[in-house]
Structure 1
Amino acid sequence: MRLVLSRLARSSPRYPLSSTLAAAALGAGLARLTWAGEVELDGAHFSVLSWILLVVAVAVAERRVSSRWAFSVAAAATAAGVVAAWGVLSAAAAFGEPLSQEALRFQAWTPSVTSAALLMAVSSRLRLATGRTLRWGVGTAVIVLLLMTGHASDVARVFAVLAAGLVATVGRSAVPGADWRPTVQTRWRSVLASVLVVVASALALGTVMPNATGVLAWTGAVFDPVVAPIASALLIVSAVLVMRGRLTGILLGGAALAAVAVVSMIELVVRPILEGGIVWQGLTGAETEWQIVLLLSGGLPAMAALLLALGARKVIRRPAPVATPVDRRRLQDVLKASGDATFAHMATWAGNSLWFGEDGSAIAYRVRDGVAFTVGDPISDDPRPALRAFAEFCETRGWTPVFYSIHDEAASALHEDGWARTPVGTDAVIDVPDFSLSGRRRQDLRTAVNRADREGLSAVWTTYADSSAAVRAQVDALCAGWADEKVLPEMGFTLGGLAELTDPEVRLMLAIGADGRVQVVTSWLPRHRDGELIGWTLDVMRRDRDAMPGAMEFTIVSTVRRAAEEGLPIVGLSGTPLAAHEGHSVGWLSRRMSRLLEPSYGFASLERFKAKFGARHEPLWMSYPQPLHLPRIGPALLRTYVPTLRFTQVVTSALRVRAQGLASASR
């Protein structure tokens, strides 16, 4: 706050005098309400946390907008909240309402009142999904404190948050993606998770807040101090699982809520009725109101359990559908019309699920740990409608949509709608009409071609099925031998292997020596547009240990030359995972995966190899709803690429990385 005030002092000529006077008046009023002798302070053990939260909220607001905006919103929303709470509670207390009289015994302002208002206001300046998550967190916390403690500051916090939502809209520009609305399933998950958190908080805070007078304070008070934290932890775990659409969360949360409801009803309702503590006397009188509070305290956990049961079917995560023969035939039609993207043909690979849009688009994807990763861009002439429709489809099934290895057009469209993105690689594309072996930079390619001519190395353009049995056996051995040399298992997802190159649509360019020995195997995926073949994309690259130096370069050059003869404009060298973009560094997720996978898969050397061909590099992105999802996305992506990865293999790879680092440092 000192930082805020100092900045305001330096900019005082531009800061309205009326705002300064209003802030001063607000400060005096808060001091009067907070430190007046007739009110009590809230628990001292929460004061430090409350002030820390205020500092964090101010820092976030200053960083996202400005100091002036943060101070103005804080002053206006806090003043509105405190005044409204004081007015409502005073009016109710004047009519003898006991809860209001009890609430007024405590201060009407705490730092958390301003903190909640600021965070709610800041949420309007964040990306759509991130802002929605922040509002959910603030709203849940506000409800928890209101139902639990029931002090004047808790009422003020509610009004301040509502006021902040209005104040923050003043002068606000349009939020990217504001027309994206959460699905019914997403809303249900948020509601049920909030309900579980509210009950869990009542149990956790019941033993540490002796001055609590809220409705749920009675619920927390009836539980043993040893049992309450355990039940609270179970409910919190259930809330996390429910947000991820897990059936386990429903079952665990339902069992815990049922137990809490039974104990609460027995202790707060049944026992007092049997002992004569609850006697209905009509709708008037303070004593009757306290009895209603007891009934609510005992009944709210039961209502929460009922709500969880009603919403169970809407929140459970569904399994990914298996592609049917009908889906695959439909996909072939889409590929012929719009399959010109780098990864388009990879949609046909086994293990992919398929989604089709109403506009004739298609998306291949794989679901791992509740995260749906797309196989590149939507197969469509215009990706925008497919992006939104697929994201909504994922939400209805309980998955987090992640558009993986997409190009600038799709990534920019999502970024404009408020999605986060991070670089995950580059796509190398050769424009066939412009390709040439002349020039200093193509010396390695000319050398490889000339040596192949001298040594009788032939480039054979074929398919796996059309190859002889002897050639197929050598191809199989090359692919198997390459995989056996790796510490980690062979990668999949957007990287093909032996199973993928047997596709009849896929062509092979083989480098075969004069002795009939296969030295290099490359596979090429077709790219179509408007029913016509327009190019090929490199997939599998396998080289024999004793192959001629430059044999791989010779094989790729031969493919480009053949494409030129056929009049095809594009030959793609495919994407290089985890490679940095020009002008952009890879994110922390890509860096961590690169350190783990580089010793076995050599992505850095692959990027240097592709640079020999003078291909243009197009950035590849991963777009996801909000940064908070990254801790889940990282492990899920690794398991998508390497489903059979074991912990011991990870340790071995990490030790190899360390050993190589030490060896390099000692040189």
Structure 2
Amino acid sequence: MTSTAAAPREKREKHERVAHLSARTAVWYLRIVACLNLFAAVSLSFRDQVRHHNHGDFYTPYLLTAGFSSAAFAVFMAVMMNRHKRAAWIANSVLSGLLLIALVLSLVEQPGVRAHWFNWATLAVLVVFQAALTLGRGEFRAKGDPANPRLAGAVLVGGSLATLLVGTGLLSLTAAGRGAALADRVEYVLLRGITLGSDGSPYVEVTAPRWIDITVNVLSVAVLVLFSYALFRAPKGKEYLSPQDEAALRCLLDRHGARDSLGYFALRRDKSVVFSPSGKAAVTYRVVGGVSLASGDPIGDIEAWPGAIEKWLEQAREHAWTPAVTGASEEAGVVYARHGLDALELGDEAIVEVADFSLEGRSMRGVRQAHNKVRRAGYTVSVRRHADIPEPEMESLIADADRWRDGSTERGWSMALGRLGDPEDGQCVMLECRDADGEMRALLSFVPWGEHGLSLDLMRRDRDSDNGLMEFMVIELLQQARSIGVERVSLNFAVFRAVFERGSRLGAGPFLRAWRSVLVFFSRWWQIESLYRANAKYRPQWEPRYVLFERSRDLPRIALANAAVEGFISQPRLPALPRAKRGTDPRRQDRERERELQHVA
């Protein structure tokens, strides 16, 4: 019985090994062809050999044309095939299959083609490549965006016409171009767009300056890259949580919200969610640049975390997304590590226990003096739950927050809610700071962290007000926290806190000192060091947070995706084609969601 059951399993494992090896063979073929095309760009003799074997009675292997365009296309195809894109597999199968059929027909019908050994060698290479694609087809399961074909067609047609018009126009400005017919100039530009030279054209009298050749080739490569990106880009996933998803997440937070200080931020409506099969846990994420970026710990029962993580990873593999987590705790990092993710310490979260906080002592002298100075200036702080703030007052606070925002970009994603004054967020806490004349000067908003905790969400102040208001408000909250049932407060997140702390100590190594100098330099723009210093004055407990990833080579992509969602960089976008049934106004979506949530309740 055991041997009978083991036979199908061994057969299946053998089939999987053959499919994996075949898929890797196809990817490496594309990589080798790309390298040969790039080598031909710098080696005149090799380029002449390829071009010689690419005309007349010769056939070169698939994508080997000694052209920049084919090199870029081969590189992009190798990357997409390496990400197991189904569309890339189809494209390579069709293109190489057509070339294989053309070569076979030529070998049968044309004696000149049959007489060259090089064509038989090319046939062998194409057969191996096509066989590798066929045997490895099961490895290429990743789906693409349904809108990709239309967008890719628009990019190809528009980009090709623009390249043709620019190249022909530039050629017409030269003496050699004006001496040739318009059809000759157009054909010259078309041939330049395919390869590095115009070999094969009967119109040899067209002689263009070198700078025109370079311009046309650069434009054609750019069009090909944009076309390939549009054709094989990963789907973006859902843009908003559904009302049912949000209601389910709130139920999980009611039962397990005290576990993670960042749990409430899972309710951002620009995130998507995947639940465990039991529905007792969930992973919230957002897809940016082909990266499925989860934030914080999974929501819900820790025993159900593995089910949610497996569903999230399965979804990422299905769509060729790169899985990553930002801001995970050590506890969650251990669970993610069991599913194949590696961890890198990102920084530390500052958590203040209300019972342990005091302004007494020599170490708190500076903080105490700053607090007393602001209080003597007549500033006062009121602490209220959002649900206790009348709607007209809340609208005024929102207007103040928008006016005081530094820049048009909203910063924060993993540790920011992204909205203010939503009726569903009634348990959030608002701190309002007024000056001696009763004018509003600053505000802080905190989200719930279980029943007895708060996590900082939003900080805004009038730029014309006195310095030290933020510190004054935090201290006032810590002193009044027990009156609203708060026992612990999570403040800002300090990126690479350990580097600043250890790098300034006596005896720190040269690498640590150098890394600290780099961070200090970038702190001129991104407030890396100032956030650490601002949090350290409260003597908090530092809880490490981690970024999790599958492969080290994905870290640059993950870093760019993280910077994009946090608002530090803008993600480049291709013009989107209109889609049916897709909301475009987030405010309208929010209003509709509020009505649906009320209906669900």
TM-score by length of 2: 0.61
Cα gap change, 1:461/1:505 in structure 2, threshold over 3 Å: closer, same or farther? same
1:263 and 1:467 map into 2 onto residues whose CA distance is 75
Counterparts of 1:354-373 in structure 2 under 5 Å?
A: 354-359=273-278, 360-373=280-293
Cα gap change, 1:613/1:627 in structure 2, threshold over 3 Å: closer, same or farther? same
2:371 and 2:270 map into 1 onto residues whose CA distance is 38
What's the secondary structure of 1:354's corresponding residue? Answer: strand
In the alignment, what sits opposite 1:222? 59
Residue type matched to 2:540 in 1? A
2:81 to 232, 238, 242: 242
Cα gap change, 1:260/1:390 in structure 2, threshold over 3 Å: closer, same or farther? same
Q: Deviations over 1:470-496 (max 9, x none)?
A: 75465334433443x44x833231243
Residue type matched to 2:264 in 1? H
Is structure 2 residue 213 aligned with structure 1 residue 319?
Answer: no
1:406 to 315, 328, 348: 328
2:245 and 2:390 map into 1 onto residues whose CA distance is 32
1:608 to 522, 526, 533: 533
In the alignment, what sits opposite 1:154? none
Per the TM alignment, residue 547 of structure 1 is displaced from its structure 2 partner at its CA by: 2.8
8 Å CA contact retained: 1:501, 1:508: no
1:628 to 535, 553, 557: 553
Q: Deviations over 1:145-179 (max 9, x none)?
A: xxxxxxxxxxxxxxxxxxxxxxxxxxxxxxxxxxx
Q: Deviations over 1:610-629 (max 9, x none)?
A: 11111111111101112111
Residue type matched to 1:228 in 2? T
In the alignment, what sits opposite 1:339? 257
Note the aligned Cα RMSD (angstroms): 4.4
In the alignment, what sits opposite 2:595? none
2:104 and 2:518 map into 1 onto residues whose CA distance is 51
In the alignment, what sits opposite 1:553? 471
2:410 to 480, 490, 496: 490
In the alignment, what sits opposite 2:299? 379
Counterparts of 1:502-517 in structure 2 under 5 Å?
A: 502=422, 503-517=425-439
Cα gap change, 1:552/1:509 in structure 2, threshold over 3 Å: closer, same or farther? same
Cα gap change, 1:308/1:197 in structure 2, threshold over 3 Å: closer, same or farther? same
Highest relative contact order (Cα 8 Å, sep 6+), 1 or 2? Answer: 2
In the alignment, what sits opposite 1:461? 383
List alignment gaps of at least 5 residues for structure 2: 1-12, 47-56, 145-233, 504-510, 573-601
2:536 and 2:320 map into 1 onto residues whose CA distance is 41
Counterparts of 1:167-206 in structure 2 under 5 Å?
A: 192=23, 194-198=25-29, 201=32
Size of the alignment, in residue pairs?
437
1:436 and 1:534 map into 2 onto residues whose CA distance is 19
Cα gap change, 1:476/1:521 in structure 2, threshold over 3 Å: closer, same or farther? same
Cα gap change, 1:431/1:313 in structure 2, threshold over 3 Å: closer, same or farther? same
2:543 to 618, 622, 643: 618
Per the TM alignment, residue 295 of structure 1 is displaced from its structure 2 partner at its CA by: 7.2
8 Å CA contact retained: 1:364, 1:375: yes
Per the TM alignment, residue 631 of structure 1 is displaced from its structure 2 partner at its CA by: 2.4
What's the secondary structure of 2:315's corresponding residue? Answer: helix
What's the secondary structure of 1:499's corresponding residue? Answer: coil
Cα gap change, 1:476/1:306 in structure 2, threshold over 3 Å: closer, same or farther? same
8 Å CA contact retained: 1:463, 1:508: yes
8 Å CA contact retained: 1:403, 1:623: yes
Per the TM alignment, residue 248 of structure 1 is displaced from its structure 2 partner at its CA by: 6.3
In the alignment, what sits opposite 2:586? none
1:594 and 1:191 map into 2 onto residues whose CA distance is 49
8 Å CA contact retained: 2:441, 2:462: yes
What's the secondary structure of 2:547's corresponding residue? Answer: strand
Per the TM alignment, residue 368 of structure 1 is displaced from its structure 2 partner at its CA by: 0.7
Q: Deviations over 1:510-537 (max 9, x none)?
A: 1122422112210111012xxxx02101
2:296 and 2:448 map into 1 onto residues whose CA distance is 15
Per the TM alignment, residue 640 of structure 1 is displaced from its structure 2 partner at its CA by: 1.9
> Which moved further from structure 2: 561-570 or 302-311?
302-311
2:325 and 2:140 map into 1 onto residues whose CA distance is 28
In the alignment, what sits opposite 1:350? 269
List alignment gaps of at least 5 residues for structure 1: 1-181, 210-219, 279-289, 648-667
Q: Deviations over 1:416-462 (max 9, x none)?
A: 66643222221010112211121122224433443455444322122
1:522 to 444, 448, 458: 444
8 Å CA contact retained: 1:238, 1:248: no
Q: If you compute each CA radius of gyration, which structure gives the higher value, 1 or 2? A: 1
2:285 and 2:473 map into 1 onto residues whose CA distance is 31
In the alignment, what sits opposite 1:396? 318
In the alignment, what sits opposite 2:105? 266
In the alignment, what sits opposite 1:128? none
Per the TM alignment, residue 325 of structure 1 is displaced from its structure 2 partner at its CA by: 1.1
What's the secondary structure of 1:613's corresponding residue? Answer: coil
In the alignment, what sits opposite 1:158? none
Residue type matched to 2:237 in 1? A
Q: Deviations over 1:212-245 (max 9, x none)?
A: xxxxxxxx97318995344565334212023335
1:589 and 1:626 map into 2 onto residues whose CA distance is 23
2:520 and 2:17 map into 1 onto residues whose CA distance is 33
TM-score by length of 1: 0.56
What's the secondary structure of 1:493's corresponding residue? Answer: coil
What's the secondary structure of 2:445's corresponding residue? Answer: strand
8 Å CA contact retained: 2:103, 2:123: no
Per the TM alignment, residue 504 of structure 1 is displaced from its structure 2 partner at its CA by: 2.7
8 Å CA contact retained: 2:564, 2:571: no
1:553 and 1:606 map into 2 onto residues whose CA distance is 12
Residue type matched to 1:407 in 2? S
Cα gap change, 1:226/1:420 in structure 2, threshold over 3 Å: closer, same or farther? closer
Is structure 2 residue 344 aligned with structure 1 residue 422?
Answer: yes
Q: Deviations over 1:46-68 (max 9, x none)?
A: xxxxxxxxxxxxxxxxxxxxxxx
8 Å CA contact retained: 2:349, 2:491: yes
Per the TM alignment, residue 564 of structure 1 is displaced from its structure 2 partner at its CA by: 2.1
1:516 and 1:249 map into 2 onto residues whose CA distance is 64
Cα gap change, 1:430/1:256 in structure 2, threshold over 3 Å: closer, same or farther? same
What's the secondary structure of 1:572's corresponding residue? Answer: strand
8 Å CA contact retained: 1:402, 1:623: yes
2:356 and 2:403 map into 1 onto residues whose CA distance is 36
Cα gap change, 1:371/1:595 in structure 2, threshold over 3 Å: closer, same or farther? farther
What's the secondary structure of 2:355's corresponding residue? Answer: helix
Residue type matched to 1:506 in 2? C
8 Å CA contact retained: 1:578, 1:586: no
Per the TM alignment, residue 375 of structure 1 is displaced from its structure 2 partner at its CA by: 1.4
In the alignment, what sits opposite 1:159? none
Residue type matched to 2:494 in 1? T
Per the TM alignment, residue 406 of structure 1 is displaced from its structure 2 partner at its CA by: 1.0
Cα gap change, 1:517/1:204 in structure 2, threshold over 3 Å: closer, same or farther? closer
Residue type matched to 1:319 in 2? K
Cα gap change, 1:275/1:512 in structure 2, threshold over 3 Å: closer, same or farther? closer
Residue type matched to 1:375 in 2? S
Residue type matched to 2:560 in 1? P
8 Å CA contact retained: 1:579, 1:586: no
The percent identity for this pair of structures is: 22
Cα gap change, 1:521/1:481 in structure 2, threshold over 3 Å: closer, same or farther? same
1:324 and 1:498 map into 2 onto residues whose CA distance is 17
1:432 to 337, 343, 354: 354
8 Å CA contact retained: 1:222, 1:267: no
2:556 and 2:18 map into 1 onto residues whose CA distance is 22
8 Å CA contact retained: 1:185, 1:395: no
Residue type matched to 2:463 in 1? R
What's the secondary structure of 2:474's corresponding residue? Answer: helix
1:188 and 1:523 map into 2 onto residues whose CA distance is 54
